[in-house]
């Protein structure tokens, strides 16, 4: 009994230590997600300014025929996680990307954010061309977006803007369902977006004007569009990663609490049994002493 009680005490102490770690990870997930969510909201305001610039550009230069653009190379940027403790985050997204690329006839170039995501993609027979480190803070989101934008600029300079399609793959928030894997197209520009900007009337009586050449201005606006979109995707991926970790840690905390409750009940039962045994030993010893003293008196 004493050994069993000792083992139970060690297990209880171990489970309490695990619960402390799980609770700490749960708290950190809540704390970390807040600045990333603020960053995602902030970049949306910047992106609206970029779209307003595209609107002004189209209002002065006429239409852009996106249907004539035929991409020979498809670039997919996949945002994963290297921080762990978030379940099958990377594997689920890698499977979704593989499904999206199953019928693709273009040459596919994959840019991957996160070494663990790169391993998940290789499991789906998708080999990343370049691997980038995921951001560890809000400041890192801007640096990552700049790195990806410059890398795409180099590729566009080599292959030509019209010969390359760019897509982003990441986890996006999905209301009560939590999150969903999403693949969005950045280049060529969404025909519906271009049509909306072309047909939308300019609201102000002051017409926009620009001194740059139209091709240079369009290139700068697309560069900003790419930066804002990748910044938002990186921030959104970090928000959903922390949400996945929070959900997983909540489940783990509940499991640990259930195990602690079972260990506590078992410890109480063993302790009660031990106390009962000791009391019985005392009673038996007392009765034996009484009998012995009675025989001695006779």
* Spatial contact of 145 and 231, defined as CB atoms under 8 Å apart: yes
Residue 267 CB neighbour total at 10 angstroms: 17
Run of H or E including 242: helix 214-297
Quick one: pLDDT at residue 66? Answer: 54
196: which 2 tokens? 């909306």
Backbone angles phi, psi at 113, to 5 degrees: -105, 105
DSSP for 109-162, please give it.
EEEEESHHHHHHHHHTT---SEEEPPPSSHHHHHHHHHHHHHHHHHHHHHH-GG
- Residue range 84-122, pLDDT digits in tens: 777 788 899 999 999 988 887 778 899 999 999 999 999
Does residue 62 carry a pLDDT above 80?
no
Cα separation, 143 vs 39, whole angstroms: 13
- Residue range 246-261, pLDDT digits in tens: 888 888 888 888 888 8
**pLDDT (mean) for 261-284:** 83
How confident is residue 296, by pLDDT bands cut at 50, 70 and 90? low
Residue 66 is given by DSSP the state G
40 CA to centre of own chain: 13
Domain coordinates in residue numbering, the chain: 2-18+251-289, 24-203+212-250
Rg, C-alpha atoms of the chain: 32
Q: Which of 14-18, 31-35, 135-139, 230-234 has the highest mean pLDDT?
A: 230-234
The mean predicted confidence, pLDDT, of the chain is: 83
Predicted model pTM: 0.78
Quick one: pLDDT at residue 294? Answer: 67
Cα separation, 2 vs 270, whole angstroms: 9
∠ Cα 226 229 233 (to 5°): 135
CATH of 24-203+212-250, one of 3.30.300.30, 3.10.620.30, 2.60.120.1030, 3.40.1380.10: 3.40.1380.10
Quick one: pLDDT at residue 68? Answer: 46
Three-class DSSP labels, 183-212: EEEEECCCHHHHHHHHHCCCCCCCCCCCCC
Quick one: pLDDT at residue 158? Answer: 66
- Residue range 161-178, pLDDT digits in tens: 567 888 999 998 887 777
Q: Is 84 helix (H, G, I), strand (E, B) or coil?
A: coil
Sign of CA dihedral 192, 167, 148, 71: negative
How confident is residue 282, by pLDDT bands cut at 50, 70 and 90? confident
Does residue 2 carry a pLDDT above 50?
no
Q: What are all long-range contacts of 258-262, with beta carbons under 8 Å and residues at least 24 apart?
A: 259/15, 260/12, 260/15, 260/16, 260/19
Quick one: pLDDT at residue 64? Answer: 62
Sign of CA dihedral 235, 237, 239, 242: negative
Q: What are all long-range contacts of 33-39, with beta carbons under 8 Å and residues at least 24 apart?
A: 33/238, 33/239, 33/242, 33/243, 33/246, 35/137, 35/138, 36/138, 36/141, 36/235, 36/238, 36/239, 36/242, 37/235, 37/239, 38/138, 39/138, 39/141, 39/231, 39/235
- Residue range 187-245, pLDDT digits in tens: 888 778 888 888 888 777 777 787 888 888 888 888 899 999 999 999 998 888 888 88
């Amino acid at each position: 009994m004493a050994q069993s009680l000792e083992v139970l005490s060690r297990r209880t102490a171990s489970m309490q230590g695990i619960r402390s770690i799980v609770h700490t990870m749960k708290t950190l997930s809540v704390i970390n997600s807040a600045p990333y969510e603020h960053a995602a909201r902030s970049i949306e305001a910047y992106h609206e300014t970029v779209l307003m610039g595209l609107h002004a550009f189209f209002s002065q230069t006429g239409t852009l025929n996106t249907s004539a653009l035929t991409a020979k190379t498809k670039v997919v940027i996949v945002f994963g996680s290297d921080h762990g403790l978030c379940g099958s985050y990377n594997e689920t997204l890698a499977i979704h990307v593989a499904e999206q690329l199953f019928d693709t006839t273009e040459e596919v170039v994959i840019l991957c954010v996160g070494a663990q995501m790169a391993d998940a993609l290789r499991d789906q027979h998708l080999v990343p061309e370049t691997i980038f480190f995921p951001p560890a803070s809000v400041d890192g989101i801007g640096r990552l977006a700049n790195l990806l934008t410059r890398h795409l600029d180099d590729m566009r300079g080599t292959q030509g803007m019209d010969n390359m399609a760019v897509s982003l793959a990441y986890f996006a928030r999905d209301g009560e369902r939590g999150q969903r894997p999403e693949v969005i197209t950045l280049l060529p520009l969404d025909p519906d977006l271009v049509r909306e900007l072309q047909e939308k009337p300019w609201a102000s009586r002051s017409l926009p004007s620009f001194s740059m050449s139209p091709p240079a201005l369009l290139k700068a606006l697309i560069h900003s569009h790419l930066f804002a979109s990748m910044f938002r995707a990186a921030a959104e991926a970090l928000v959903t990663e922390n949400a996945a970790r929070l959900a997983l840690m909540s489940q783990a905390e509940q499991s640990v609490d259930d195990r602690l409750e079972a260990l506590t009940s078992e410890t109480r039962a063993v302790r009660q049994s031990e106390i009962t045994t000791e009391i019985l030993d005392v009673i038996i010893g007392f009765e034996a002493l009484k009998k012995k003293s009675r025989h001695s008196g006779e």
